[in-house]
Amino acid sequence: MSIGSHGGFSLFEVLIAACLLACVATAATSLTLVSGREVAAVARASAARGIAAATLERLRSLPFVRPPSTGTAPVPPSVVGELFPHAVTALNRVDAFVSGPVNGGGATFTTQSQAGDVAITNEAMFVRSTAAGWRPVPWSAVEGFVADQAAVLPGDALRVKVTVRWPAGALMRTYALDAVLAGDQQTGHGDASLPAGD
């Protein structure tokens, strides 16, 4: 009886085949996990873009300034009331504050909110229309402004930046939209900036 003529696989051949199968299965599992994470990252980025766009659209739907109060009726929201309620540092809060001029610019009012692990920041600055485009209103013309008490606005419009930040693994991703909102609500229409960190 001959030992090597059985026609089956040797133990060595079976072990090599099992190793190859394990490598292919590991690679397929790894590819599935990576693609699943990528799909989740794209979904999060899309949701962040949606939050930024919806915020600007909601602001565009508001009147630029509040109409005069009529007795006991609640005062409706307005773009100025929500984005730049005051320029008095004593009225600042941790989540809503005015900051003075930076690099020769005007005053910026920042509002911060959180939706789960997504951070939303609105920044607004009064601007004036000039032949050279929109220019910041100087701090001296804005300082002391309080929306509910002002008879005149310090600027023609508000330059608005809506920034959304969300975690993506160990990194933070950012998406921002910019627009100029004016009394006629026709200026700007939310020009999308390139997403930072994507």
φ, ψ (nearest 5 deg) of residue 82 = -85, -35
What DSSP state is assigned to residue 90? G
Are the CB atoms for 180 and 127 separated by under 8 Å? yes
What residue ranges do the domains of the chain occupy? 11-64+78-192
The closest alpha carbon to 66, from 87, 89, 84, 54, belongs to 84
**How far is the CA of 54 from the CAs of 51, 61, 84, 87, 198, in angstroms?**
5, 11, 19, 26, 20
Please list the residues that pair with 167 across neighbouring strands: 172
Lowest mean pLDDT among 39-43, 60-64, 118-122: 39-43
Q: Say what the pTM is.
A: 0.73
Taking only the tens place, the pLDDT of each residue in 5-17 is 566 778 888 888 8
* Chain segment 155-192, per-residue pLDDT in tens: 989 999 999 999 887 889 999 999 999 876 444 333 33
